[in-house]
Amino acid sequence: MPAYVDRGVLDFIDAPNRELISDLHQAYASDGFVSQYTSQSIAWEVSLDLIKTGLQSAIASMIDVTEWRILLELPLYRLRRRVDFLLVTPQALTVIELKVGEDQFLSSDRWQVEEYALDLRDFHEFSQGIPILSVLWCTDAPTESLHLPVLRTGVTDAVVKVGRGQFSRFVSGFASHIAALPRTVREDWSRGAYRPVPSVIEAATSLFAGHGVEEITRRDAANLEQAAEAIVSLIRQARDRKRRFLIFLTGVPGSGKTLAGLQVVHRAHESEGRHSGDVVYLSGNTP
């Protein structure tokens, strides 16, 4: 799950902006985007200067960042969006949404960065069991007191708000905050697999187009087919014996429970035909 730019902090600071922007453009094109808007290039240029200035100021106060990495534009394909940038440290992962020129902290923006953090927690291979901090940085918002929440396994309860001229203070405070924490983040975090499940509509479309579960979801979830077949078998038994069954299918977020349910409905209808009766499929998933 590569970010458009992935560099050590010191290497990132030393790299010319034109080189970083060239990397961003190339990755953007490789990701399937045909055209590039001037406004995006300008935003990248401004963002790079802001990030570098804040990091340099924090480093000047004797912060050791030799093991820190900066990731820019990390795609989250399930959400069809990209994380602006991440600070990856041995102790914690920081997900940052950068709003250049924004002068207020909107609730929609806070939810956006929190959703990014939750998505990584649930679907990124190396983000489970580590502290994840959500940060909303609005470059023109009024300065407020910086409050860093307690870092523990999972996504922090509150989104940290960073206002005008506060990024370097945030970095310094964050470095002190994590100093005593254990090292839980892998050095190769950025190489972790991102395994989102498709939305209900996408899954249903693929199923009825003739594709099986294993073709449209995570390939290591080989037991989805077996689970669906076992449930259909129980449905047959219930019908033949005139009984009622309540079946529980368990699994961690993203393991494919919703998709398995779709497969069950499809297979029951396909194999039983007119004997399958009415089927009602209800899902609590947002899609």
Residue at 287 is within a domain = no
Beta-sheet pairing, 69-76 with 81-88: antiparallel
Residue at 184 is within a domain = yes
Looking at the structure of the chain, the number of domains it has is 2
Do 216 and 166 share a structural domain?
Answer: no
Do 181 and 224 share a structural domain?
Answer: no
Do 143 and 22 share a structural domain?
Answer: yes
Overall pTM surpassing 0.85 (yes/no): no
Secondary structure of residue 103 in the 3-state scheme: coil
Do 234 and 95 share a structural domain?
Answer: no
Distances 286 to 209, 235, 237, 258 between C-alpha atoms, Å: 23, 27, 32, 11
The length of the chain, given as a count of residues: 287
Distances 185 to 67, 90, 182 between C-alpha atoms, Å: 11, 5, 9
Do 211 and 108 share a structural domain?
Answer: no
Residue at 281 is within a domain = no
* Strand spans (E) along 12-166: 69-76, 81-88, 93-99, 131-138, 154-155, 160-162
Do 212 and 185 share a structural domain?
Answer: no
Q: What is the pLDDT of residue 41?
A: 73
Predicted confidence pLDDT, tens digits, the chain (287 residues) = 588 999 999 999 999 999 999 888 888 777 666 555 566 677 888 889 999 998 998 888 777 888 999 999 998 877 778 899 999 999 999 999 999 999 999 999 999 999 999 999 988 989 989 999 999 999 999 988 888 998 999 999 899 999 999 999 999 999 999 988 999 999 999 999 887 766 666 666 665 665 555 555 554 556 777 888 899 889 888 888 989 999 998 887 777 788 888 888 877 777 665 555 667 777 765 54
Residue at 283 is within a domain = no
DSSP state at residue 88: E
Distances 12 to 54, 68, 87, 191, 223 between C-alpha atoms, Å: 12, 10, 12, 18, 43
Residue at 226 is within a domain = yes
Do 176 and 216 share a structural domain?
Answer: no
- Tokens 């999972």 correspond to what residue? 154
Do 259 and 204 share a structural domain?
Answer: yes
Do 210 and 75 share a structural domain?
Answer: no
Residue at 286 is within a domain = no
Do 19 and 109 share a structural domain?
Answer: yes
Domain end among 136, 159, 191? 191
Report the distance separating Cα 186 and Cα 37, nearest Å. Answer: 35
Q: What is the pLDDT of residue 287?
A: 46
Q: CATH number for the domain including 103?
A: 3.40.1350
Dihedral sign for Cα 227, 229, 232, 238, please: negative
Residue at 165 is within a domain = yes
Domain range for 90 is 5-191
Domain end among 142, 170, 191? 191
Q: What is the pLDDT of residue 219?
A: 47
